Amino acid sequence: MSETKEGADPQGEAEEPSEAARPKKKRKKKAKAPREGVPSFAQRFPRDESLDALLAAFDRGDYGRVREDGARLVKSTDDPAVRRAAEELLRRIEPDPLAKYMLFAACLLLAFFTVWYFSHRLSPTP
């Protein structure tokens, strides 16, 4: 009876894989320090003076300025990353389309029930 296990290399110990055959260790990316005064969704936006001014206005709640200056920035910038960031800000201040439809439906129901009420009033009995 042999003392070697089945499937083991008959010459002794198995060879270690070469450096090229070993899987490389994944390096963890260092987390960047969060930007101060910037909303969490905008942490990956590029740094640009006009975009930073828009972010500050967005954070303050000055959506009129964001709407005006954001549209101007989208048209005037050559950097596609800044353009995408400005478009993202503009998209975030638009109302939800479903909310618009629901408001429209509520107004239609109110108009219908108002007309119904005034057209089906009971006349006073003598």
Range of the domain at 101: 40-116
Using 50, 70 and 90 to split pLDDT, how confident is the model at 38?
A: confident
Summarize the chain as % helix, strand, coil (round to 5). Answer: 50, 0, 50
* Residue 20 resides in a domain: no
* Residue 19 resides in a domain: no
Residue 26: the pLDDT is: 74
Number of domains in the chain: 1
* Residue 105 resides in a domain: yes
% pLDDT > 70, the chain? 74
* Residue 17 resides in a domain: no
Q: What is the mean pLDDT of residues 71-75?
A: 92
Residue 90: the pLDDT is: 92
Length of the chain, in residues: 126
Q: Copy the structure tokens of residue 123.
A: 């006349």
Low-confidence winner among 2-6, 58-62, 67-71, 92-96 (lowest mean pLDDT): 2-6
Tokens 């909303």 identify what position? 39
